[in-house]
Amino acid sequence: MRDLADRALDVARSEGASYADIRIIRYRRQRIETEDKRVSGLMDEEELGAGVRVIADGCWGFAGTAELTKEAIERAAREAVAVARASSLAKPDRPVILAPERVHSVTFKPEVKVDPFTVPISDKANLLIRVGEAMLANAAVRKTEGWMLFKREQKLFANTEGSLIDIDVTTSAAGYTASAVANNDCKSRSFEPPPRTSGYENIPVEMMLAEAPRVAEQAVQHCFAKETPVGKKDLILDPLHLALTIHESVGHATELDRVLGMEESLAGRSFATPEKLGNFRYGSGVVNFTADNTLPGGLASFGFDDDGVPAQRWAIVEEGILRGYSTSREVAPFIGATQSRGGNRADHWGSIPIVRIPNLSLEPGRKKLSLDELIADTADGIFIEGMGSFSIDQMRLNFQFGGDCFWEIKNGKIVGMLKNVTYQSITPKFWGSCDAICDERFWVPNGVLTCGKGDPMQIAQMTHGASPARFRQIDVGGASARMRSYKNPS
Ligand SMILES: [Zn+2]
């Protein structure tokens, strides 16, 4: 592999590239899906290939190959340079300039206690089927779904600056859902333990079985739940729910390529423009968002990004003020940064790396505060658990979120379940209304496994940790109220 990498870089250089890198990657992926008491989907694949990226005449060029021979690698390197030269005909405003980076010669291989690919598929499927059976024991549960996902990425990165980086990272995740039909309605409830870059030891087998009856019961309870109230409510959001809110309203909003207008697909720009850096109030004083690609087990903890930049920890929002972005070596100089934050990642050897959301977490509250105490301190609110529907505008400002499960809070007590709850807000107003965050005992590193970005779309993963947090006087139930009052136009 090392020889092939050297050869690609030599060819790119001799063809006139001022910079080149190569990623040679072997992927192993396995996904098991069950419905009720049967296996409904099975994917188990292995794939190997290389991508060569170059700068020539001030422009990027890229080519990939699934054939790992000397000839194919040389061809890819020549093709990448030809693509860069063709791109330069479009006369871009400025040449690509990379933020400087040190030379790294290193291996990154976090510990995997149990290689998930050595665990028989039948064992995994049987666990999901047992979970399904446990949920179907509840007569009102009519449908169950279970899944497990395992990924291993073994990557050799080399560039013309002399870096040589070996990466070997495994990801393990699982989850399930029960859907109930009762009371003239159909509702669901899900269970998703935090996905992590780790081995099969991350699959909490006993907990998955133990939680199944509760998940089934709550799916049924959801059918009988009271319709959402409409109006301003105090919301308490659980860590899994917050993972999605953070992802959409903070993560994507602080990807610098989007901020700069260089990448606009899929609700692609951002209000969080560079003149706001260091002075814009993104949230209240208790709100701190930290990016941390060094987080052990983090879904974006790959040691180095696809620019060959090491994983880092830095502030995105500090005591409510916008402090940073996720960057690549290409976009970092646009904000005067002297080093990239290491956020450039591709989802495949055949994809060009793009700026990605890091592991991005809401810091726990500094004062001792439990979830029970937070609920006890709330007079009229809703406690929302899990992820549901969402939509957000192309500037990452106006949004609406649903959830997986909703509990009505009256005078400091949970009094029952609600359904069809959605809330609407505007990013800085929403985070500005956050007045309490539970302490570190309640912090959970959930995450997103299927973040889509770019065109053609690439899929990435990242962790979003949080403790339960409270948001004051948020507009709730508008969507549901509009739906109920909607009449056919005559
Ligand atoms: Zn995303």
pLDDT one digit per residue (tens) for the chain, 490 residues: 899 999 999 999 999 999 999 999 999 999 999 999 999 999 999 999 999 999 999 999 999 999 999 999 999 999 999 999 999 999 888 999 999 999 999 999 999 999 999 999 999 999 999 999 999 999 999 999 999 999 999 999 999 999 999 999 999 999 999 999 999 999 999 999 999 999 999 999 999 999 999 999 999 999 999 999 999 999 999 999 999 999 999 999 999 999 999 988 877 799 999 999 999 999 999 999 999 999 999 999 999 999 999 999 999 999 999 999 999 999 999 999 999 999 999 999 999 999 999 999 999 999 999 999 999 999 999 999 999 999 999 999 999 999 999 999 999 999 999 999 999 999 999 999 999 999 999 999 999 999 999 999 999 999 999 999 999 999 999 777 777 777 766 6
Distance between Cα 360 and ligand 1 center (Å): 12
Residue 481 has what pLDDT?
A: 74
Question: What secondary structure, in 3-state letters, does the chain show?
Answer: CHHHHHHHHHHHHHCCCCEEEEEEEEEEEEEEEEECCEEEEEEEEEEEEEEEEEEECCEEEEEEECCCCHHHHHHHHHHHHHHHHHHHCCCCCCCCCCCCCCCCEEEECCCCCCCHHHCCHHHHHHHHHHHHHHHHCCCCEEEEEEEEEEEEEEEEEEECCCCEEEEEEEEEEEEEEEEEEECCEEEEEEECCCCECCCHHHCCHHHHHHHHHHHHHHHHHHHCCEECCCEEEEEEECHHHHHHHHHHHHHHHHEHHHHCCCCCCCCCCCCCCHHHCCCCECCCCCCCEEEECCCCCCCCCCCECCCCCECCEEEEEECCEECCCECCCCCHHHHCCCCCCCCEECCCCCCCCEECCCCEEECCCCCCCCHHHHHHCCCEEEEEECCCCEEECCCCCEEEECCCEEEEEECCEEEEEEECCCEEEEHHHHHHCEEEECCHHHCEEEEEEEEEECCCCEEEEEEEEECCEEEEEEEECHHHHHHHHCCCCC
Task: With respect to residue 344, please indicate whether it lies within any of the assigned structural domains.
Answer: yes
- Assess whether 267 and 150 both reside in one domain: no
Res 489: pLDDT = 65
- 320 within a domain of the structure (yes/no): yes
180 found inside a domain: yes
Tell whether 258 and 115 lie within a shared domain: no
Same domain, 199 and 234: no
Please indicate, yes or no, whether residues 170 and 263 belong to a single structural domain of this protein. Answer: no
CATH number of the domain bearing residue 208: 3.30.2290.10
pLDDT at residue 265 in the model = 83
Judge if 211 and 321 occupy the same domain. no
Give the pLDDT of residue 1.
87
Ligand 1 center–CA 365 separation, angstroms: 25
Question: What integer pLDDT is reported at residue 50 of this predicted model?
Answer: 98
Cα 451 to middle of ligand 1, angstroms: 4
CA of 247 to the centre of ligand 1 (A): 6
Q: Which of 224, 251, 277 is the last residue of a domain?
A: 224
Identify whether residues 54 and 170 lie together within a single domain. yes
C-alpha 253 to ligand 1 mean position (Å): 10
- Residues 177, 244: one domain? no
- Residue 244 Cα to ligand 1 middle (Å): 9
CA of 117 to the centre of ligand 1 (A): 27
Q: How far, in Å, from the CA of 450 to the mean position of ligand 1? A: 7
Does one domain contain both 232 and 202? no
Are residue 210 and residue 235 in the same domain, yes or no? no
Cα 23 to ligand 1 centroid, rounded to whole Å: 24
Number of domains in the chain: 2
Residues 34 and 54 in one domain: yes
Kindly give the distance from the C-alpha atom of residue 16 to the centroid of ligand 1, in angstroms, as a whole number: 36
Domain range spanning residue 393? 228-485
How many angstroms does the Cα of residue 397 sit away from the middle of ligand 1?
15
Give the Å distance between the CA of 191 and the centre of ligand 1.
Answer: 21
Whether the model clears a pTM of 0.85, i.e. scores above it, the answer is yes
- Ligand 1 centroid to residue 481 C-alpha, Å: 28
CA 165 / ligand 1 centre spacing (Å) = 27
Residue where a domain terminates, one of 205, 224, 243: 224
Which residue, 224, 257, 281, sits at the end of a domain? Answer: 224
Q: Is residue 19 part of a domain?
A: yes
Is 20 found in the same domain as 39?
yes
Instruction: Kindly state whether residue 490 falls inside one of the protein's structural domains.
Output: no
Q: How far is the CA of 391 from the centre of ligand 1 (A)?
A: 12
Instruction: Calculate how far, in angstroms, residue 11's C-alpha sits from the geometric centre of ligand 1.
Output: 36
Domain check: are 145 and 199 in the same one? yes
Residue 336 domain-assigned (yes or no): yes
Q: Measured in angstroms, how far is the CA atom of residue 170 from the centroid of ligand 1?
A: 21
Centre of ligand 1 to C-alpha 213, Å, is 32
